[in-house]
Amino acid sequence: MKKILLLTLALALVLSSMALAEQKRPDVKDGVIQNASRIVLSGTLDANSPTWNRGFNNVDPPAPGCDFPLSDSSDGQYYEVFCIEVTDQNPVEAIVDPAATTIGDTHMELYCDPFDPANPLENAVFSDDDDGDGLFSAFTLDDNLVLSPGEQYWLVLTTFSPGDMGDFAIDTSDNVMMCGGVSAEGQSWTEIKALY
């Protein structure tokens, strides 16, 4: 009798599991993710960071042909470099966030690929010193910095003066993504599910 009761109970569990499985329909609804955020490039410049002899030009417009004129500036600034790409030919933004940055004075430069910190005056696209909040750097829409999709670029965040250190964050426009990465703009659930 116990065996019949156990078999009946096991059969009931199997049938209820099958009924639940039949009720679940596949997830085929496609929806756009709301409030897709921009990527934020962040880091810390400290005594372990590499140094270079950065260039300077806070006057000329962007040079998409990789021939932005930089002049030799002071030497020995800490820096960090990020490989970025763009998803379209709209102007890009990269703005140092004052709420998340403890460096006293930033400087930002953009280079075509390849970037060589030993030759900081070559292959540049644009440079900015203080177009952001206070002494912080910013590439704004007014700069009309238009890049080519499918190309790699190197965004360099550096200090204005040698010896300056601290944390930083750079907010970017929706058309910027990390090299080989996924942009934050226009992702749908179907596109994300396809990654798995």
- Both tokens of residue 68? 């932005």
Residue 180's pLDDT is: 83
Mean pLDDT of 156-165: 96
Burial class (CB in 10 A: 0-12, 13-18, 19+), 165: middle
The domain spans of the chain are 40-178
Class of CATH domain 40-178: mainly beta
pLDDT: which is higher, 127 or 7: 127
pLDDT: which is higher, 186 or 72: 72
CA gap 45, 131 in Å, rounded: 21
Residue 90's pLDDT is: 97
pLDDT: which is higher, 159 or 29: 159
Q: How many residues does the chain have?
A: 196
pLDDT tens per residue across span 24-35: 343 333 333 333
Residue 12's pLDDT is: 57
Q: Which of 8-22, 71-85, 111-125, 131-145 has the lowest mean pLDDT?
A: 8-22
What's the chain's average pLDDT?
82
What letters, b where the CB count within 10 A reaches 16 and e where it falls short, cover 110-143? bbbeebebeebbbbbbbbbbbbbeebbbbbbeeb
* Residue 14 phi, psi (nearest 5): -65, -45
Residue 75's pLDDT is: 87
Confidence of residue 56 (pLDDT cuts 50, 70, 90): very high
Mean pLDDT of 13-22: 51
* Residue 7 phi, psi (nearest 5): -65, -40
Confidence of residue 96 (pLDDT cuts 50, 70, 90): very high
Q: Is the pLDDT of residue 1 over 90?
A: no
Q: Is the pLDDT of residue 192 over 50?
A: no
